[in-house]
Structure 1
């Protein structure tokens, strides 16, 4: 009589046969036949490795090297839509397509058939929780957008934000060594991380009501601020890594050690910063103590007859997202703005004259207010042109679709990821006259920047229902940072040879500048 196989042996045989069984399933299953799929990029691609194989062939260093390759990929194809991955096992990857035609990009991003990029939702949940605007869809997303619009983008909180950021920038600039005649101040603005720290401090105060500063006289406060900054850096790095579309993401999001560290850092930020500030603010409001008109106060006062107010969990999660998004995106966009203004000092001087003219309405020594910021029209044109020339979103706006989506002559199959590569259009002569030249005047009295063709030719904040909610706040932050900096200093580039670094965003790896103090009146 034959003895039964030992359990470990039976498992070994089962595991050995499993790949064969899976392969047979995908070979034999009957699927829908598509006759008008976008063409597959031929060189360096396969069903299993997608552009991961392209990355390895190019030998790019790790740190999401697929991002700078997106535009190269799109430029290499004459079609408006192309396949990056063909069909493979759905448990490992999704069919993925690049879209570069601006009309098709606009159609895709505004379509009701697309939904938020699942990789972004998962990465955002891992760093910020489940109850925030980047992790929600449907009615809950609409509710959060409505409440946040009243809490953050209204006049009172916006004025408070400008006040906080202005104070932070002035305090930082006051700590810099005083330049003397013939000896200006040299500073590597990217490597110093100063702008990121400034933005973290302003957004933390605005979002949580926490007054922290790396320039505090209290060493405990300085250490807490550094820990918060370090935690946000790690979270943003992981978010960027997990935005990768394709097989690589399957393994990245199952990194047990990274997931544990994310949980630990998220718990640290909530317990050490948000919850104590939230409970103190509740106590102050119930006791009749005067509280500032910041995001936390407005979120605690949120809600109307149609919508329930934010819960503690929702306030925590939304605060986490505000600080993370503001920290990296706003700081890096400002660095690119400094880079372009350093290349074009004539526009720097025009902005300075505009700032002086607006400030002349106030007593000497006054700071710009939120209403003053709105009057800086040339500075706004400069910011718009800087984002056109070099958006931090250097790769693509991504969406998923669970139903077949018609894009021009092509059908994007259900269960696909679609990447809109807007960079192909913002620097194209087909889209803008003298597209390779820095011309802020193209935005004067023209919200399209003089675009020569229709569609999404320039979308630094995205488009459609999943566009960046914080666009107005980001623009106010950029104007405030730039206005205070230009008011205090004239600056020039020490080198135009800068390297680009990629995580979730594109930033200058180094930005050496020389600053000359102005006469502040």
Structure 2
């Protein structure tokens, strides 16, 4: 239910001054309350206390938090014309030399997005499927070797899987992290994302004047990733020179970006590096977190594991003993498990944005140009007005029969795990492909459970990950 205030069928207009605000500290405002890895939960809790639209003060900078799904959807739809990425995000990414499609606005964003999108088409991803199969098999072999361990912090293995997938798709370069235990690229990426998140929330860029250990680690991580990226760029230039046909039919995202040769599209080395890093970060973190959260849920539900495996076995029998590209689309129950996971544990529970010009939101709130926004993209999915038994993990609610029969209310548009509008996440289809392959393999190969360990909690660093997740994998007996 929208919070819009209506009197005689007219919205009551309100301004920033009219919005409620959580009590903060002199000068600092709400800054100290928001320096937490549970930032999204703090903002969600305040939504319950102050309503679907309220303001926060971060050391003198005012931001508006919006949770009404109708209003959030409208804002996402109106990007990038009326709403942009925040200036703080753009500033931090520019300072670090990684200003790519994720942080860009306007014509720069359109130009870079246009070059990236073809690689995420269904046709392109179908041709990429054999490598997805190979990488899933590598993950299986890696986990089988660990079968004697009582507990497993599987998140590291999942990150290696997603980095191998992403580097192959983006660069045509297989890092093969699943086949060795070296840190390398993966560890550098793990440093970068949390620090980006922290800096975008800082009202004062202290790192320009004094650098702490975490800042020096960030600088070093960026240097190492840039070395790796530019080496791959040079290899790609050589490939295009040796095989000019690739310019017309590029096989990787990087080939498409390097091959763009007209003046309007040419990307600088800085833009190439920025987009390489953006795609690495997005591909590594979001999908590995989705798979990890799915394991968190199904490790507590042997019945769901059985249903996943039974469905996958039917698909294998139908397609000559294996799951092919068409078979992935037919894993409807497994997709329901993924969508239910995203409803409860969205990897992107909030999105930041900024008004381009003065705007009036659908709930009547008038905002000046340059107002920073936090859009709460998960909260609507937790609302019992939108989903029956909203607190329960029930994948069946996403299957057509359930939606038509007894699962009402069922408002799929109440939450936005992949964003929306023109800036909708281009990697959604790939994320589901990776997730289905991994979970189907795990449920076929192992009985999955959780050991006695510290409670799993949500941790936010641009994406939301499960902290303390431990898994027990018991190899299934032949014929089970």
Question: TM (normalized to structure 2)?
Answer: 0.83
Task: Tell me: CA distance 1:151–1:268, structure 2 relative to 1, closer, same or farther (3 Å).
Answer: same
Q: Distance in 2 between matches of 1:308 and 1:515?
A: 48
CA contact (8 A) 2:116 2:257 kept: yes
Q: 2:151 aligns to what SS in structure 1?
A: strand
The equivalent residue for 2:382 is 427
The equivalent residue for 1:189 is 153
CA contact (8 A) 2:14 2:365 kept: no
Task: Tell me: CA distance 1:38–1:425, structure 2 relative to 1, closer, same or farther (3 Å).
Answer: farther
The equivalent residue for 1:267 is 223
Select which of 435, 438, 447 maps to 1:478: 435
Question: TM (normalized to structure 1)?
Answer: 0.77
CA contact (8 A) 1:185 1:516 kept: no
CA contact (8 A) 1:51 1:66 kept: no
Q: Indicate whether 1:83 and 2:55 are aligned.
A: yes
The equivalent residue for 1:357 is 314
Select which of 465, 470, 492 maps to 2:422: 465
Report how many residues are paired.
456
CA contact (8 A) 1:398 1:417 kept: yes
Select which of 344, 347, 351 maps to 2:304: 347
Q: Indicate whether 1:381 and 2:336 are aligned.
A: yes
CA contact (8 A) 1:47 1:85 kept: no
Task: Tell me: CA distance 1:124–1:53, structure 2 relative to 1, closer, same or farther (3 Å).
Answer: closer
Q: 1:188 aligns to what SS in structure 2?
A: coil
The equivalent residue for 1:116 is 85
CA contact (8 A) 2:388 2:410 kept: no
Compute the displacement of 1:106 (Å): 1.7
Task: Tell me: CA distance 1:308–1:101, structure 2 relative to 1, closer, same or farther (3 Å).
Answer: closer
| Structure 2 residue runs without a partner (length 5+) | 1-12
| Structure 1 residue runs without a partner (length 5+) | 1-33, 56-61, 87-91
The equivalent residue for 1:149 is 117
Q: Distance in 1 between matches of 2:327 and 2:260?
A: 28
Q: Indicate whether 1:211 and 2:174 are aligned.
A: yes
CA contact (8 A) 1:207 1:295 kept: yes
Compute the displacement of 1:460 (Å): 0.8
Select which of 166, 169, 180 maps to 2:136: 169
CA contact (8 A) 2:87 2:354 kept: yes
Q: Distance in 2 between matches of 1:455 and 1:98?
A: 21
RMSD across aligned positions (CA): 3.4
CA contact (8 A) 1:169 1:198 kept: yes
| Structure whose CA Rg is larger | 1
Task: Tell me: CA distance 1:65–1:344, structure 2 relative to 1, closer, same or farther (3 Å).
Answer: closer
Q: 1:193 aligns to what SS in structure 2?
A: helix
CA contact (8 A) 2:199 2:205 kept: no
Task: Tell me: CA distance 1:468–1:38, structure 2 relative to 1, closer, same or farther (3 Å).
Answer: farther
The equivalent residue for 1:505 is 463
Q: Deviations over 1:300-346 (max 9, x none)?
A: 4557x996365554433222111111111111111101111112222
Compute the displacement of 1:96 (Å): 1.0
Q: Distance in 2 between matches of 1:314 and 1:361?
A: 45
The equivalent residue for 2:10 is none
Q: 1:95 aligns to what SS in structure 2?
A: strand
Q: Indicate whether 1:278 and 2:233 are aligned.
A: yes
Compute the displacement of 1:249 (Å): 3.2
Select which of 94, 98, 104 maps to 1:136: 104
Compute the displacement of 1:144 (Å): 2.1
Compute the displacement of 1:194 (Å): 1.4
Q: 1:187 aligns to what SS in structure 2?
A: coil
Q: Indicate whether 1:315 and 2:279 are aligned.
A: no
CA contact (8 A) 1:461 1:468 kept: yes
The equivalent residue for 1:45 is 24
CA contact (8 A) 1:160 1:293 kept: no
Task: Tell me: CA distance 1:94–1:52, structure 2 relative to 1, closer, same or farther (3 Å).
Answer: closer
Compute the displacement of 1:481 (Å): 2.2
